[in-house]
Amino acid sequence: MGAHRRGPSPPDAEVDAAREALVREIAARGEFTDPAWRRAFAEVPRHLFVPFFYVHGIRGFERLWGEDPDPERRSRWLRGVYADGALATRLKDGELVSSSSQPSLMALMLDALGLRDGHTVLEIGTGPGYNAALLAHRLGDSAVTSVDLDPEITESARGHLAAAGYHPTVVTGDGARGCPRHAPYDRIIATCTLPSVPEAWPEQCRPGARILAPLATGLVLLRVRAAEDGPRAEGHFLPTPAYFVPLRGALPGPGGPPHPGGLPRRVAGDDLFRFLLTLTAGALDPHEALALWEREERPRRERYGITVGHGRQWAWLDDPQGPYTWPLAAG
Provide the terminal-to-terminal Cα distance of the chain, rounded to the nearest Å.
Answer: 57
Catalytic residue among 9, 75, 98, 142: 98
What string of DSSP letters covers 152-180? HHHHHHHHHHHHHT---EEEES-GGG--G
Annotation marks residue 101 as catalytic: no
What string of DSSP letters covers 103-114? HHHHHHHHHHTT
Non-local CB neighbours of 157 within 8 Å, separated by 6+ positions: 49, 126, 127, 128, 129, 132, 146, 148, 170
61 and 80 Cβ atoms separated by less than 8 Å = no
Helix (H) or strand (E) holding 63: strand 60-65
Torsion of CA 158, 37, 226, 237, to 10 degrees: -100
Neighbours of 86 (CB within 10 A): 18
For residues 251 and 268, give the distance between their C-alpha atoms in angstroms, rounded to a whole number. 28
- Burial zone of 12 (CB within 10 Å; 0-12 exposed, 13-18 middle, 19+ buried): exposed
Catalytically annotated residues: 98
